[in-house]
Amino acid sequence: MEKQWWKKAVIYQVYPRSFQDTNGDGIGDIPGIIKRLDYLEDLGVDAIWLSPVYQSPQDDNRYDISDYQDIYPPFGTIQNMEELIVEAQKRHIGIIMDLVLNHSSDEHFWFQEAKKSRNNPYHDYYVWRDGEEGCPPNDMQSGFGGSAWEWVPELRQYYFHQFSIKQPDLNWYNPALRQELYDVVNWWIDKGVAGFRLDVIDQIAKDPDTGSITDNPNLHPFIKELSRNTFGKVDLNLVSVGETWSATPENAPLFSNPDGSELSMVFQFEHMVLDQQGRVKWDLTPLPFIQLKQTLSTWQTALHGKAWNSLFWDNHDLPRIVSRWGDEGEYRVISAKMFATLLHGMEGTPYIYQGEELGMTNIRLPIEGYRDLETRNIYRFRMKQGYPEEEIMRSIYAQSRDNARTPMQWDDSAQAGFTTGEPWIAVNPNYKQINAAAQVRDEHSVYSYYKKLIRLRKEIPVIVDGVYELLLAEDPSVFAYTRTNDTQKLIVICNFYGQECEIDIPALVPEGSELLLANYEDEGTMNQFRPYEARMYLFPITV
Ligand code: TEU
Ligand code: CA
């Protein structure tokens, strides 16, 4: 494996519960992923980011792990997992395990022991504070609503949970706990995985007394120690991706220094929260487009040569990009390809979330149809607070995590070929129009377009290493930029909106450039950009 192979890689995220069911219980499983490896090989991806498959009571779909070294039975067994790793390897696809080291499930053996008594050896694996019932140590709120402190009457103590009550935070200040976690990581390394995605890794050094969750003095020492003892050992050549909501262009080089002492790359969301009021995901405001350009461009420029970034529009926590900022209707295919072009020309490692390569869309369900605890909680909280129900549902349609979690649409048979039984969450009714089988055989499909973009990244060095420059920064509808190295210049020009616009192409694209890729079949008119039109040009620099 080439060193830093992940700089040229494209990573595909699989959310196993919704990917492919093979035994008719309505739940995706590991044999289902194995069954679809040929599809992923054809697409051309280098690695799979596998959302958690561990043993878990499913409060938060396995982001609440009760055994890091066992598999959630409906997904399969450790043997299935070993087979997946081997079968993927045969197709040159690495498996990136999603590890949640910030918290465990309350049903984990450690927590079961921890709450037996204050003297139990596992007690200090978690974050406890003394207090009085009904009077938590402070008013910190959990990510999924309600107090971040939960009272345990037997101990007359509170434990801290940044996420749900069933996700108690682990106490990283305890060296014994840290060693347990390293053992877990190394156990997975021995199974032959290609690396790790580390859930909310910027929160492990939290100080719940001051309320400071992310930027604490011990954060980077902790990550360094983790890396040194596990995936960071150089001969392993593993990839490590840190989910880091708090990363900034300034501190990203700490997390992902090219010296390899911490993580391969950050995965941060600054561009994905711009359409929210006060960072409350349910309170939306129109996307400030100029700011989106600035944000993405700042990250491009600030990290060049100093750190490495992830490129994404979608994941299992985010709504579908075509529904969010593109067009789910007439221009669904065109806008899906525009978003792909815009992102895949940038510096960083692109991520494709399952179904994004088909242009899958959001879903609208009656409230009983939603499965995600965050969605159910916000509905309850806001109903209690007296919000009008239509307004709550509008927020949920736009932002619920279940938008991304409906089953993968494989073909136009019943339940989209996802299951022969009752799916755990509804299949999007548009599967007859939007499905993989149809797109794989159609050279003009969103799928085929992603395939080309993935290939271009392998063939054209400037896509990996070029210096980024934003063009037309103030243009209200065009997102255009160049990437330049010694021998090539890549020019990416996208109309971000559904109205035509005029662009002076000869001013941006030097004569002698080749049109590498475009999202309309016919060339159209040079300076007239149609709705969501995207073009990618390559100019050979003669030296
Ligand atoms: O998400 C981290 C996180 O901060 C979430 O609260 C995120 O803000 C939320 O999903 C937005 O709606 C990670 C995982 O990606 C997520 O699926 C888990 O629920 C969460 O950690 C807890 O493990
Ligand atoms: Ca199943």
Burial label, 153 (beta-carbon count in 10 A; 0-12, 13-18, 19+): exposed
Q: What is the 3-state secondary structure (H, E, C) of 153-214?
A: CCCCEEEECCCCCCCCEECCCCHHHHHHHHHHHHHHHHCCCCEEEECCHHHCCCECCCCECC
Tell me the CA–centroid distance for residue 110 and ligand 1, in Å: 22
User: Where does ligand 1 bind, in terms of residues with CB under 6 Å?
Assistant: 60, 63, 100, 143, 163, 199-200, 245, 281, 316-317, 374, 401
Considering every ligand atom, which ligand is closest to the CA of 267?
1
* 72 three-state secondary structure: coil
Determine the distance separating the centroid of ligand 2 and the alpha carbon of 420, expressed in angstroms.
Answer: 10
Token pair recorded at residue 423: 């799916």
- Do the strands 501-502 and 265-267 form a parallel or antiparallel pair, or are they unpaired? unpaired
Both tokens of residue 500?
A: 């035509």
Residue pair 223/263 in contact (Cβ under 8 Å)? The answer is yes
- Indicate which residues carry an active-site annotation: 199, 243
Beta-sheet pairing, 128-130 with 67-71: unpaired
Report the amino acid identity of residue 347: E
Ligand 1 atom at minimal distance to the Cα of residue 162 = 22
Q: How far apart are CA 32 and CA 113, in angstroms?
A: 35
Question: In this structure, are residues 136 and 158 in contact, taking their beta carbons and an 8 Å threshold?
Answer: yes
The backbone torsions φ and ψ at residue 522, rounded to the nearest 5 degrees and listed phi first, read -95, 155
Task: Give the separation between CA 413 and CA 424, rounded to whole angstroms.
Answer: 17
Q: Are 94 and 46 in contact (CB under 8 A)?
A: yes
53, 163, 203, 395, best to mutate for ligand 1 pocket (most atoms within 8 Å of CB): 163
- Crossing angle of helices 373-384 and 389-399, in 10° steps, is 160
Distance 163 CA to ligand 1 centre (A): 8
Compute the radius of gyration of the chain from its Cα atoms.
23
| Mutate-to-test residue for ligand 1 from 17, 53, 100, 199, highest number of ligand atoms within 8 A of CB | 199
Residue nearest to atom 14 of ligand 1 (CA): 199
Q: Rounded to the nearest whole angstrom, what is the distance from the C-alpha of residue 103 to the centroid of ligand 2?
A: 27
Q: Looking at residue 543, what is its pLDDT?
A: 65
Locus of tokens 């305890």? 174
Task: Take residue 108 and report the two structure tokens written for it.
Answer: 């984990």
Beta-bridge partners for 158: 129, 151
Structure tokens at 114: 């921890």
Smallest-distance ligand from the CA of 407: 2
DSSP state of 129: E
- Phi and psi at residue 315, in whole multiples of 5°? -160, -170
Q: What is the pLDDT along the chain (543 residues), one digit of tens a residue?
A: 788 999 999 999 999 999 999 999 999 999 999 999 999 999 999 999 999 999 999 999 999 999 999 999 999 999 999 999 999 999 999 999 999 999 999 999 999 999 999 999 999 999 999 999 999 999 999 999 899 999 999 999 999 999 999 999 999 999 999 999 999 999 999 999 999 999 999 999 999 999 999 999 999 999 999 999 999 997 899 999 999 999 999 999 999 998 899 999 999 999 999 999 988 999 999 999 999 999 999 999 999 999 999 999 999 999 999 999 999 999 999 999 999 999 999 999 999 999 999 999 999 999 999 999 999 999 999 999 999 999 999 999 999 999 999 999 999 999 999 999 999 999 999 999 999 999 999 999 999 999 999 999 999 999 999 999 999 999 999 999 999 999 999 999 999 999 999 999 999 999 999 999 999 999 899 999 999 999 999 999 976
Check residue 138 and report its DSSP letter: S
What's the Cα-to-Cα distance from 325 to each of 320, 322, 336, 502, rounded to whole Å?
A: 9, 6, 10, 21
pLDDT value, residue 205: 98
> Looking at residue 145, what is its pLDDT?
86
Ligand 1 pocket check: which of 18, 316, 317 to mutate, most ligand atoms within 8 Å of Cβ?
A: 317
